[in-house]
Structures are given as structure tokens and as C-alpha cells.
Amino acid sequence: MANYDYDLFVIGGGSGGVRAARVAAQTGAKVGLAEADRYGGTCVIRGCVPKKLMVFASEFRDTVEDAAQYGWRVTSDGFDWLVFKTKMHAELDRLEGIYRNILSNNDVETFNSFAELTGPNDVLLADGRTLSAKTILIATGGRPATPDILGGGLAISSNEIFHLEEMPKSILVVGGGYIASEFAGVFNGLGTKVTQYYRGAQILRGFDDESRGLVADEMTRRGVDLHLGTNVLEMSEYAQGIRVMATNGQERTFDKVLFATGRIPNSGNLGLELVGIETGRSGEIIVDQYSRTSLPSVYAIGDVTDRVNLTPVAIREAMAFVETVFNNNPISPDHELIPTAIFTQPEMGTIGLSEEHAREQEPIEVYASSFKPMQTAFAARADRVLMKLVVSQKTRRVLGCHIVSPAAGEMIQMVGIAIKMGATKEDFDRVVAVHPTMAEELVTMKTPVRAG
């Protein structure tokens, strides 16, 4: 039998890679891991975590205003980006330290280096060292994809957003997905004048139409200048900022332009072609239901496989990989009925089928309630929320739940349990309302608003 340096070598120290390395090491395997950048990956260093901190920061503007409506004598001198930024990066340093400790406490040998494959069981580090492993796991994640247009280099991506020298006075956000819509809300809350260009008919394509419509309406009402059916043609440097020519004929100048136009797998320069690992059109590594690539000794998980690009999914894929390979218990990660939240303002929480997708599948009933929540209505705000259930007429199962409201992410996590268990509309109805809350609407909607 061949002798390898490691039982498992992981390339990539993000959420998926670190989880796989730790859990595999806990089975007694000898594990090595290479990470070229910072430990923690996109989620911890330049994604979910700093983004959510910025969302929190941006929401205080309304909180301060509402406090006055509730009788508090408060004044605000505005937002200090440098104070916040310093604290945010200290927090990211702390979290990165935790990730490093997780690895060292579990005897995972780490290499702060780029790594590439040179054979089915061989990895080459940047310093020329070659290491061998019985199994190799690629968990290199993804990176922002930006359109190739004239002057495109003047724009920033989500990677740079957390390192701005100062808060821009104006920003153009290009794109209509998760990242674009979240940052449009963040900058709007922090006091920047936000314009958003999205090339399609409505932002958040693929999600429930009524829900994304409400998110777009609310974002606009709160001050985001949203232009649908609009894209950037070219950009140039200008004394006052970045001059942008758009498909709607407008020429406008912005302090900053953010491209949030999707992400692509980090699969280049890994030697995949050399060792014969199959990739797809966007460079995603093709894997089977056990995350195994076309080369049997190599597995891949997370965004580099472009399945469902969410941190908790990468972690599930990591756990299933370790069960399969190190515990002799083949398990496929479950990609069905994944609850998710989009941290727009207002937030959206969603699981299962949109009304439109469900309607294509079978006859449905739609239960929906849109209203002004008590907390903000009292503060004289016009904010509206939406609670929506999409129900199968035949089985009565709740096929989808869509929530647009503050804390929608927290709510959808809980609703997700019921829906994953196959709850019917009548199961929801049997639950006594928690009063007064927004979520109580989910168990008190008696008559469908639409059917068919």
C-alpha cells in the first residue's frame, strides 16, 4: 500500500475546508490544509460576517429616529465609518484567530500557501514542496465576477467594500442579486446616496415575485434610486468621481461604483486540467452526489462546485464528505428545502417554492398577509411586511414560505423546521398565535388570497 504524507489534504481554509479538516482529524485522520489568503474564507473575511455587521450598523439610523418617536430624547451626530471599520476588522481578526485555533487544536497541519494538484495524490505548494495525500479535498470557494466593459477597472467588488478609506457620498450598485441588493440597503442606511442599476425586470430574480416586489418597493421608498432594465455601458475617471454611461442614455457621476454581478468558482491554476478533473462552463468542479470529482481520490465542496452557494451548505457538504470518506457511511448532502435570508432592508426569509414555481408544478392556494407592523407604525413609518404561504391543494403541504420583514431570517429558520418535516397548512393552523408578533400571521391566515 502506498505511503502518503496525509490521509487528507484540504485546499482552502474557508467554512467548508476548515470544517472538513477538523472533523476528519477528529476521526483520527492525519490532515493537512493549505490556505493562500486569510483563514475563514469569504464568509468570515469578506462576506457574511462583515456584511451583517454593516447591516447592523446601517439600521441604527432608523432606530435612532424611531427612539425619538417613542419618547426618547436622542440626537445623532451621524455615522463614523473609521470607528466602525476599525472595530469590524478587529472582530474579523478575532474570528480568523478562532479558525486557526480550531485547526491547530485538532492537529491539522496548516500551510499559508497557494496549493495546486500535480497528480491524483499530490499537491504542490508555492515554495516548491510537494505533499502527498490519500484523499484531496478542494474547497477553494469563489470570487466576484465583474463585467468586461470599458473602464470596468474603476469599479470595486464586494472584496473591497470592507476596506473603503471613507464613506462615499454617492455609490452606484450594479446588479440585482443578493450582494447588490444587500449593499444598496447598507449604504442607503449609512447615509450614502445610492443608485442601483439592474439589467432585468425586477431585482432578486428567482425568488417569489410578490416578495421581491415588496423588497424593491420598500428599498425605493427608503431612498434607493433603483433603475430596472438598466446596465452600465462604460465608465471613465472624472474629476468629481466615476462617470458612468448607462443603457438608459443617462450619464451620471458617482464617488464609487460597486459591481455585484455574480461570483465564479476559484478553480483556475489548481492543475485541474493537468490531472484530468472535469469542470463546467463557469469553471465549477463537477462532482457526484458524494462530492467526488471525476478523479476518484479528489473531492470538492462549497462554492467551487457551484451547487448552492451558501456557507451552511458548504459546511453540510463538508460533514457529508467526512462521513462518506472517513466514517465509511456514504451520505449525500441534502440540497432540498434550504431556508435562506437576504439581508436587504427589509429583510427577506424564504424556503421552498415561490408562488410562480409552485403554480407550474401543481394546483396551489396562496395565503398572504401584508401589513404595517406595530413597532414601526407607532413610529409613524410606512414600512410594510409580508407573510406568505404557498400550499399544495392536493396534499395541503406548505410548499413555500416567504417572509419580508425585520428579522425574517430568524423567522424562516424556525418555519424551515416545520416545512422540512412536511407540515400542512392545517398543521400551521393548529398552532396558537404568539401575540402580538408579526409572525403570528403565519398561523392565522384563514382564507386563500389566490388559488389555481
The beta strands (E) that lie in 303-346 are given as: 340-342
CB of 36 to ligand NDP, least distance (A): 20
120 binds ligand NDP (CB under 6 A): no
| Other CB atoms within 10 A of residue 287 CB | 23
CB 196 within 8 A of CB 224: yes
Rounded CA separation 284/268 (Å): 10
179 binds ligand NDP (CB under 6 A): yes
Q: State the number of binding residues for ligand NDP (CB under 6 A).
A: 24
254-262, 377-385, 427-435, 437-445 -> range binding ligand NDP (CB under 6 A): 254-262
Angle between helix axes 178-190 and 209-221 (nearest 10 degrees) is 20
Closer CB to ligand NDP, residue 47 or residue 241? Answer: 47
Angle between helix axes 48-69 and 81-105 (nearest 10 degrees) is 140
CB 339 within 8 A of CB 421: no
Q: The cell 451520505 sits on which residue? A: 331
Cell of 274: 493537468
178 binds ligand NDP (CB under 6 A): yes
Closer CB to ligand NDP, residue 175 or residue 352? Answer: 175
DSSP state, 447? S
CB of 47 to ligand NDP, least distance (A): 7
**Using CB under 6 A, which residues numbered 392 to 451 contact ligand NDP?**
none
299 binds ligand NDP (CB under 6 A): no
CB of 223 to ligand NDP, least distance (A): 20
Query: What single string gives the DSSP state of each residue in 237-280?
Result: EETTEEEEEETTS-EEEESEEEE---EEE--TTS-HHHHT--B-
Closer CB to ligand NDP, residue 203 or residue 364? Answer: 203
Burial of 13 (0-12, 13-18, 19+ CB in 10 A): buried
Q: For residue 327, which amino acid is it?
A: N
**Using CB under 6 A, which residues numbered 203 to 232 contact ligand NDP?**
205, 231
Q: Which of 141, 176, 339, 346 binds ligand NDP (CB under 6 A)?
A: 176
263 binds ligand NDP (CB under 6 A): yes
Q: Which of 119, 147, 213, 448 binds ligand NDP (CB under 6 A)?
A: 147
Number of H helices, E strands in the chain: 12, 22
Closer CB to ligand NDP, residue 147 or residue 448? Answer: 147
Rounded CA separation 212/168 (Å): 27
Rounded CA separation 153/12 (Å): 27
Strand partners, 154: none
Rounded CA separation 235/184 (Å): 20
CB of 325 to ligand NDP, least distance (A): 26
CB of 142 to ligand NDP, least distance (A): 8
177 binds ligand NDP (CB under 6 A): yes
Q: Which of 30, 61, 193, 199 binds ligand NDP (CB under 6 A)?
A: 199
435 assigned to active site: yes
Residue whose C-beta lies closest to ligand NDP: 177
Q: Which of 14, 175, 241, 373 binds ligand NDP (CB under 6 A)?
A: 175
340 binds ligand NDP (CB under 6 A): yes
Q: Which of 124, 174, 258, 315 binds ligand NDP (CB under 6 A)?
A: 174
Closer CB to ligand NDP, residue 67 or residue 245? Answer: 245
87 binds ligand NDP (CB under 6 A): no
CB of 205 to ligand NDP, least distance (A): 4
179-187, 219-227, 316-324, 420-428 -> range binding ligand NDP (CB under 6 A): 179-187
DSSP state, 448? -
The kind and range of the H/E element at 49 are helix 48-69
Rounded CA separation 42/40 (Å): 7
**What's the first-to-final CA gap in the chain, in angstroms?**
63
CB of 287 to ligand NDP, least distance (A): 17
Q: Annotated catalytic sites, by residue?
A: 435
**Which parts of this chain interact with ligand NDP (CB under 6 A)?**
147, 174-180, 182, 198-200, 205, 231, 260-263, 309-310, 340-343
